Each structure stands twice: as structure tokens, then as C-alpha cells.
Structure 1
Amino acid sequence: MPKTEQSQQNERLKHTIRNRRSIRSFKPETVPSEVILDMLETAVYAPNHRLTEPWRFIYAASEAGKAKLADSYVSFFKKIKDDFNEEKEQNMRKNLSAVPGFLLVVLKEDENEFTRNDDFAALSGMIQNLQLLAHENGIGMVWKSGRIMYDKQMHQDFGLADNERFAAIIQTGYPDEQPKAKERTPAKSLFTEL
């Protein structure tokens, strides 16, 4: 490959990494499942020690799928918040229904602590791959986490095995707006040479 072409590819990659944003406001159109699956087919090439491939995916983009997810959220928040009233429930359902799709990333948890740590690191790399591919395809995503991902009832609702948990709930859709970049600490101020 000629050096100028390689330089252009490097600059394009840098641009993609630096300009990807977490998108929280979406157009109503749903990203087709085949588009999500196509990106996942590449994203799973993340570095993965011992090639454990500790992930699987559930895509909730239909009205029924999103309603099931909303039911799990409502059930969870009713358990943990005493002030979770009818108004808060309706607001939560409205906010969740406004998201075109949810990619639930399931992590298989190994019994060995070191393998679990390696697997979560691999899964995180896979999600970053997915987000970069999505950005390149004009698709927005935001990686959501929180206590709900450890809720056993939600695990049962979505058919997770005893050794599985949710590692991410990725809201997905076509961006309605693109947030501005936030400053990052320069790597040179965090870099030590021995």
C-alpha cells in the first residue's frame, strides 16, 4: 500500500475515534437488526485472551421487545426506590419507548476471577469496535450500565443462564443531534518512560 494511502487511512481512523460520541437523542427510525448483526460480525474480532468469546446479544427494537424491557426496568425501580410512583413509571416508559432500539450485551461469567477480568476487558473492546463501526455507518449509540444489569429478575425475564449477566444495555438509533467533544487529558501528561 502506498504511504500516502496508508497515511490517509490512519487519519481516517484517528478522525473516527476522536469524533465518535455517545448519542442520547435519536430519530424515531429503528436500525434494522441485520445492520446491527453485520456490525457485530466485525466487532467480535476484539482481542480476546484464549478466545473465550464470552458474549451474546439480545436486540430489543420491536414494540413488544421494548415493552418487555420497560416492564423489567419498572419492576426493578419499584423494588429499589420507595418514591417510584405512577408518574415516574409513566415517564420511564415514555423515555424508554422513545429509544429506537436496545442492544443487550450478555456476558458469560467464568468461575475463575482472572478469566472474568480478561473476558470483561475483551467485551469492552468489542463494544468499542461496535460503537466505532456504528459511528462510521451514521448510527448513534450510548452504552448504559447500572445496578439493573445485576438484577436476577431481569436476568430471568430475558432468559439468562445462572453464569450470565448483562454487561451493557446499548441504546441504538440514528442520531438526532451530535454532541460536542469533551476535553480529554493529553496522553503525554499520563505517560512515563522507563
Structure 2
Amino acid sequence: MPQAEQINQDSALRGIIRSRRSIRKFKQDPVPPAVILDMLETAKYAPNHRVTEPWRFIYVSSETGKASLIKTFASFSKKSKPDMTEEKLQNFKKTLSCVPGFLLVVFKEDENERARDDDFAATSSLIQNLQLLAWEKGIGMVWKSGKILYDKDVHQAFGLQDNERFAAIIQTGYPDEMPKVKKRTPIKERFTEL
């Protein structure tokens, strides 16, 4: 284990963490499933109390799979926003069709609230590990959340069990546009020493 004074302040990991961005515009080519699988093999080493490994993953990158996903997501959008115009719905579908791949992160919801919180935290840590590994390989991702993660019809469409839900929908691909760095609050403003 490295001592504090031995840690290089310009380490590769530090650079990856600070340079990572949420990517919303992608090139057309999807990330091969084998690459996603390889990154997940490393990402799974996230902190995980009792090593429950509550996660599983559904990767959608084929044209048929994407068409099915877009249909399901559009149906959810229409249901959750009944006043959505047909034009807005078509724009929504078009936006989704430009995403090369979707990684659906599913986690098992334990009956015990504390264990459930621990498992969600572990799954979130795995997702961050994945995003950093992807960034290192020149792969962009954006972590999507919202009401869709809890919708039972969407769960059913993707074969989730009653005790499962989505932790995230991660849009993934090779970046076509690099967002600018957003200002972050200096951590000393959020730091208390007792």
C-alpha cells in the first residue's frame, strides 16, 4: 500500500478522475460487448459490504435490441407525460437512436433497508469504476436515472424479477463531442475537521 508521501500528485488515475466527462454525443460505432464485459470484470471490485454482488447487466447495442429499447422507453415517456406531442415523442426516439449502446444496470433489492442501501451504494461504486475504466479506453458514458428506473412495465419488458430494479441506464459509445469542464466547488468549503 503506498504511503501518502509516495503518491504521485500527477498520477494517471488522478488525471482520469479529473478529466472524465458525461458524454451525450457519440460516434455511430457501438462499443463491442467483449470490451464492456472486460471493464465490468474489473469494475466489480467496488467496495461491497458482505460481498453480496447484487448487480447484473443488460447490454443493448444491436439494431434490433435498440429498436425494442426505444419502443419501450417511448411508451414509458408517453405514459408518464400524457400531454407529450407526437413531435416531441419522435424527437425523443431520434435522440435515443443516436446512442450506440445502452448498459442497463440491474440490482437486487434486499428486503432489509440497510442492506438495500449498502447494495445500492456498492452498485453505484461499480458504475463509477466502470466510467473511469471506460474513460481510460476513450469510451464515453452518461449515467441516466429518473422515474423510468422504477417503472414496473419497463422492468417487465427487460425481464427484471420482482425483487430487482434498475440502478442506472448508462448510454455508452465513443465520444463525438467533448463537453467543457464544469466548475466544481472547492472541497475545503465542504470540509470540517473535528
TM-score, length-normalised on structure 2?
A: 0.94
Aligned runs of 1:132-143 on 2, under 5 Å? 132-143=132-143
Q: Measure, in 2, the Cα distance between the counterparts of 1:165 and 1:7.
A: 39
- The aligned residue for residue 97 of structure 2 is 97
- The aligned residue for residue 23 of structure 1 is 23
Instruction: Provide the secondary structure at the position in 2 that maps to 1:82.
Output: coil
Give the deviation of 1:84 after TM superposition. Answer: 2.2
- The aligned residue for residue 80 of structure 1 is 80
Instruction: Provide the secondary structure at the position in 1 that maps to 2:11.
Output: helix
Q: Measure, in 1, the Cα distance between the counterparts of 2:18 and 2:77.
A: 35
Instruction: Provide the secondary structure at the position in 2 that maps to 1:102.
Output: strand
58-67 or 184-193: which moved more? 184-193
Letter in 2 for 1:13: L
Aligned runs of 1:1-194 on 2, under 5 Å? 7-8=7-8, 11-194=11-194
Letter in 2 for 1:21: R
Q: Which runs of 4+ in 1 moved over 2 A?
A: 6-10
What residue ranges of structure 1 are gaps of 5+ in the alignment?
none
Q: Measure, in 2, the Cα distance between the counterparts of 1:146 and 1:9.
A: 36
Give the deviation of 1:190 after TM superposition. Answer: 1.4
What residue ranges of structure 2 are gaps of 5+ in the alignment?
none
Give the deviation of 1:100 after TM superposition. Answer: 0.3
> CA 1:193–1:163 in structure 2 vs 1: closer, same or farther (change >3 Å)?
same
> CA 1:52–1:2 in structure 2 vs 1: closer, same or farther (change >3 Å)?
closer
Give the deviation of 1:130 after TM superposition. Answer: 0.2
Report the count of equivalent residues. 192
> CA 1:58–1:2 in structure 2 vs 1: closer, same or farther (change >3 Å)?
closer
Instruction: Provide the secondary structure at the position in 2 that maps to 1:71.
Output: helix
Q: Measure, in 1, the Cα distance between the counterparts of 2:171 and 2:107.
A: 17
Give the deviation of 1:127 after TM superposition. Answer: 0.4
Instruction: Provide the secondary structure at the position in 1 that maps to 2:115.
Output: helix
Q: Measure, in 2, the Cα distance between the counterparts of 1:72 and 1:25.
A: 22
Q: Measure, in 1, the Cα distance between the counterparts of 2:133 and 2:32.
A: 15
Instruction: Provide the secondary structure at the position in 2 that maps to 1:167.
Output: strand
Q: What are the superposed Cα offsets for residues 83-119 of structure 1, whole Å, 9 maximum, x if unpaired?
A: 2232222212111110000000001100000001111
Q: What are the superposed Cα offsets for residues 107-164 of structure 1, whole Å, 9 maximum, x if unpaired?
A: 1100000001111111111000000000000000000001011110111100000000
Q: Measure, in 2, the Cα distance between the counterparts of 1:190 and 1:78.
A: 40
RMSD: 1.8
